[in-house]
């Protein structure tokens, strides 16, 4: 199960007890707008959200190993993250 709020994360919307994966996408240290995809451990597409104007994103996901794929104009980048049940995984993706 996965859900996301479009427009980027707001700390007040973190759901206590939920497994949360969030972070930001940057290029040369500056936030960049685009999309982030959540892929399961086999590489299958699970969800996609747009980043906020400040490059931020958030997913609520099951525990396990996930791949985040940032898609921005002219670039893509993948990052692997291990989400712990009920935990918060912070991920910085530089493209």
Q: What is the DSSP string of 21-48?
A: EEEEEEETTEE---EEEEE-TTS-EEEE
For residues 7, 11, 13, 16, the Cα torsion angle rounded to the nearest 10 degrees is 140
Q: What does the chain come to in residues?
A: 95
Q: How far is CA 43 from CA 8, 12, 38, 85, in A?
A: 23, 31, 9, 20
Domain ranges of the chain: 18-94
- State residue 18's pLDDT score: 86
Answering whether pTM is above 0.85, one says no
CATH number of 18-94: 2.60.40.10
- Please give the structure tokens belonging to residue 6: 């479009």
Number of H helices, E strands in the chain: 0, 8
Q: One digit per residue, pLDDT tens: the chain, 95 residues?
A: 444 444 445 555 666 678 999 999 999 999 999 999 999 999 999 999 999 999 999 999 999 999 999 999 999 999 999 999 999 999 999 99
Beta pairing, strands 35-39 & 64-72: antiparallel
């Amino acid at each position: 199960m996965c859900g996301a709020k479009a427009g980027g994360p707001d700390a007040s919307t973190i759901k206590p007890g939920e497994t949360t994966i969030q972070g930001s996408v940057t290029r040369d240290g500056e936030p960049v707008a685009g999309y982030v995809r959540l892929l399961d451990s086999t590489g299958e597409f699970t969800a996609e959200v747009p980043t906020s104007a400040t490059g931020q994103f958030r997913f609520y996901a099951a525990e396990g190993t996930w791949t985040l794929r940032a898609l921005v104009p002219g670039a893509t980048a993948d990052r692997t993250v291990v989400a712990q049940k009920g935990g918060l995984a912070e991920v910085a993706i530089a493209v």
